[in-house]
């Protein structure tokens, strides 16, 4: 049976969050850190996994972790992350 929920992990050395479905990389969100600021620079979802919640899982997991670790500011250079935050006002407080 196919796993439908993306599994998301932080690859801190590569400065990216990675989403996998059935052990295949389905997408990633790249970021940089500068002190307590996290800048999301680029998000990619493989065409084969579009419409399966990969982008949302990446955004939610990365932003929740950013909040949990006490980072005080998020810069959403990436248009996907910016749009996702716009649709989820409970994350607006993270924007610097």
Q: Answer for the pair 17, 10: CB distance below 8 angstroms, yes or no.
A: yes
Domain that holds residue 88: 7-94
Residue 45 lies in a domain: yes
Main-chain dihedrals φ then ψ at residue 3, nearest 5 degrees? -75, 130
Residue 2 lies in a domain: no
Residue 66 lies in a domain: yes
Residue 1 lies in a domain: no
**Residue 3 confidence (pLDDT):** 64
Nearest to 43 by CA among 23, 24, 22, 62: 62
Q: Residue 59 has which token pair?
A: 């955004």
CATH assignment of the domain containing 15: 3.40.630.30
Residue 30 lies in a domain: yes
pLDDT tens, N- to C-terminus, the chain (96 residues): 356 899 999 999 999 999 999 999 999 999 999 999 999 999 999 999 999 999 999 999 999 999 998 867 999 999 999 999 999 999 999 998
Count: domains in the chain: 1
């Amino acid at each position: 049976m196919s796993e439908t929920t993306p599994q998301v992990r932080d690859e801190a050395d590569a400065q990216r969050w990675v989403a996998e479905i059935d052990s295949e990389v389905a997408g990633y969100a790249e970021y940089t850190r500068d002190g307590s600021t996290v800048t999301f620079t680029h998000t990619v979802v493989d065409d084969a996994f579009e419409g399966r919640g990969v982008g949302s899982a990446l955004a939610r997991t990365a932003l929740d972790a950013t909040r949990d670790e006490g980072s005080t500011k998020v810069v959403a250079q990436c248009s996907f992350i910016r749009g996702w935050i716009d649709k989820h006002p409970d994350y607006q407080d993270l924007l610097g």
